[in-house]
A and B are shown apart, each in its own frame.
Chain A
Amino acid sequence: MSSLAKSPSLRRYNGRVTRLSLLYAAFLMGAVYAFKHHLVSGPAAWVAAILPALAIVGIFVAIGRYLLEEQDEYLRVLMVRQSLWASGFALTIATIWGFLESFELVGHIESYYVAVLWFGGLGLGACANKLTIGNFGGRGE
């Protein structure tokens, strides 16, 4: 086990992300089933639709809490750099796609894919960390 895995704040972060990911899967499957079988309408439909999103928002909050709780300044820097890469990557792709879509050059994509891009950007940031200051950060060595 790496020293990174032993960081108490990182352990808490990993636990929160795991629980939120499971919640997301449960909420999403529940919402898809409920809408497919016309089980929800009115305010209940709003709640069912927004619950999966709240689980994703929870992961953003978990990253923020990790940054506040992490006592190791180097590990904190790794995560900050990853988050900057993620934000830059997601915003860049979303902005370019938005203009292409406005000029009807590409099709419409649901806006929640920005979150998917952001999580992909975290991976890019981890690679950038490894190439520049030697460690992936987050879960990696």
Chain B
Amino acid sequence: MKLQEIINKLTLNVLTVVEDKDITGVFISDMLSDVMSNAQSGNLWITVQSHKNIVSAANLIDISAVIVTYNKKVPEDTIELANRYHVVILSSPLATFELASRLVEAGIK
């Protein structure tokens, strides 16, 4: 499934420039070492973390997009850095579990 399709299906808020890509799966974690170690290239990364460092982490392992849940505010400097490194940041008012269920419903494995 493509990223743009997911954004539409789940009406996610787009905070950066979006480059469409293939989604390879979903990874949920708020610990950066965990993401660095176990998330796969092309994954959607769901987290409550919104500080700048999520951009480097996402970029280094080629995450297709970061979805920040609970409507947590994403600071300007994170968005700026994300645009600079072509990292897509999305946000959702949903709780992480709810968002994950919707993704499963939408057909993401």
Q: Real complex partners, A and B?
A: no
